[in-house]
């Protein structure tokens, strides 16, 4: 996409948010908060600052961030309304090539997860394929809500790192 870290360090807040705002799914507020901490010494420093912005935001905003993520192979994926980033990530995991029984299984698991925890199942699809994601559902449905909030945020931070590296050129 073609920004350098030097360019990002020089832009105003609005341009920074336009450039980096999509790194966290439908949550440009993360970039708005992080912008005040520039200049960033490295991509790693920028990523850490963005993550720290989430961690310092409080539980309500963290839950809103988690909830901004789409269900895997869910309605948005099937109707073609995913963000470009989510669409690519789900396709990378093979979720765009599911059979009808697999789609039904994902629908059932998404519903069970949402019923138990109150937010969508989040996993870094770039690091997982269909079978690993299904196993993740099975394993994580045993967790407490507090554990799942922490795991979801960790997964979101992985997703954000990939998206940030896609965005910033060397």
Over the stretch 14-41, which tens digit does the pLDDT of each residue have?
999 999 999 999 999 999 999 999 999 9
Residue 73 — very low, low, confident or very high, per pLDDT cuts 50/70/90?
A: confident
Q: Which two tokens stand for residue 120?
A: 């969508």
Pair 121, 110: CB distance under 8 Å: yes
pLDDT in the model for residue 127: 94
Instruction: Please tell me the distance from the alpha carbon of residue 62 to that of residue 153, in angstroms, as a whole number.
Output: 8
Length of the chain: 170
Task: Give yes or no for residue 1 having a pLDDT over 60.
Answer: no
Active site residues: 69
CATH fold for domain 69-155 = UraD-like (1.10.3330)
Least confident of 74-83, 119-128, 135-144, 149-158: 74-83
> What confidence tens digit (pLDDT) does each residue in 77-123 have?
778 788 888 889 888 989 989 999 999 999 999 999 999 999 999 99
Instruction: Please tell me the distance from the alpha carbon of residue 34 to that of residue 101, in angstroms, as a whole number.
Output: 43
């Amino acid at each position: 996409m073609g920004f350098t870290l030097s360019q990002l360090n020089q832009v105003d807040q609005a341009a920074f948010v336009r450039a980096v705002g999509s790194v966290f799914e439908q949550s440009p507020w993360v970039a708005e908060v992080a912008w005040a901490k520039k200049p960033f010494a490295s991509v790693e420093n920028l990523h850490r600052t963005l993550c720290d912005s989430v961690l310092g935001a409080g539980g309500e905003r963290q839950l809103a961030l988690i909830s901004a993520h789409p269900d895997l192979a869910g309605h948005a994926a099937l109707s073609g309304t995913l963000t470009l980033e989510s669409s690519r990530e789900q396709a990378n995991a093979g979720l765009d090539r599911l059979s009808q029984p697999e789609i039904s299984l994902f629908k059932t698991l998404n519903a069970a997860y949402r019923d138990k925890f109150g937010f969508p199942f989040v996993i870094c699809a770039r690091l997982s394929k269909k079978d690993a994601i299904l196993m993740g559902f099975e394993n994580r449905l045993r967790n407490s809500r507090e554990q799942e909030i922490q795991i979801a945020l960790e997964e979101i931070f992985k997703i954000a790192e990939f998206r940030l590296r896609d965005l910033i050129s060397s």
